[in-house]
Amino acid sequence: MAFVGIEFHEKDGGGLALVRKEWVTPRKTEVVWPPYKNQEKYYKALKNNEAPDESTWCIYKISKQYFEVDDYDKALKKLKAAELTSDVQSNVEDEENKRPKRNHIAKKKLYDDTSDEELFERPPVIRKPKFSNNRNIIDYDQQNIKTSQRKTLEPISIDERELISTPPITDVPSNNLKIIALLQQISEQNKQILKYISKQDSVSSSVNQPEIPVTLPLKKEEDLNILENFLIEQTNSFALSSYLSTLGGRDTTSLTNNILKRCLTNELASAYSFRGKGKKRAFTDLSLKNVVVGAVKKKNPQTTERDIEYHIKVWLKHSPQRNKAEQDKVRKKNEAL
């Protein structure tokens, strides 16, 4: 953590000052300056090596750097010596150039070691610095160099056949032409992806119900037993699962409910619970349960088997209420007739 004696550029009012090395840009042509007008606050920032703040610190040009030392007291002494040296050199140059002798005014200092309460004048504000996101050191000169020496985009290899249908574009910078060509390539790729997805959806929706020995939804226990014998064959089980996966649903819950509704009537489902309890039989022992789980996972691969089984439990649990509501609706309809 070193202290540096600098001389401000004449455009910024001139004068000598003591600053931290970290406040000087890498090319030593500019320095950032804290916003304090009180010397005590400035000394505190100087000794504590306060980091520059983008919102309050300003930037000034430097015409010369005199010294760099690690000790604060030595830095003050060297700054005084630099002030005298600067004055002597100015007088010598005047004599060598045979110019009329003039009264030389000592360069002003931006600090005063005799009183910490006095206000000191700063150079006029030039501009706010731009800070790096990854460090406190401000590289103003490097930013300018990078801006002026910014590299152009590398050529992009694109099949000319992909651009045949595009009208020619003239009077456009070459870099813009490359960007436009890349966007056209991306657009064509998106069209192909959408076409593929549409094709997959059409294939999925075109799956017909396989030939099974019973009619869905199942109404009687005897029909369920016949279906269970049919599903022993793995090919039959896979075909029915593929068909049921196309029934659709906005989420896993609705998809599971739609599949179960397609397979069982509420009257038959009322005789089952998921694991079987009391007089109710266990749905989990049926091959149909595996078909339902497989159909949901085929449509929503990210869904776990445990989640699907939970939705089956809930649907079976409420099947007696749904069955009663259906019977009441039929009874009221018959009474109205």
Return the domain boundaries, the chain: 3-148, 160-205, 221-336
Q: How many residues does the chain have?
A: 337
Pairwise CA distance, residues 14 & 16, whole Å: 7
Confidence at residue 87, expressed as pLDDT on a 0 to 100 scale: 53
Q: Which one of 1.10.10, 1.10.287, 1.10.1660, 1.10.3470 gives the CATH number of domain 221-336? A: 1.10.10
Which H or E run contains 289?
A: helix 287-299
Confidence at residue 98, expressed as pLDDT on a 0 to 100 scale: 47
Residues 6+ apart with CB under 8 A from 129: 32, 52, 54, 57, 58, 59, 138, 140
Which H or E run contains 68?
A: strand 58-69
Collect the ranges in the chain with pLDDT lower than 50: 88-96, 98-121, 123-167, 169, 204
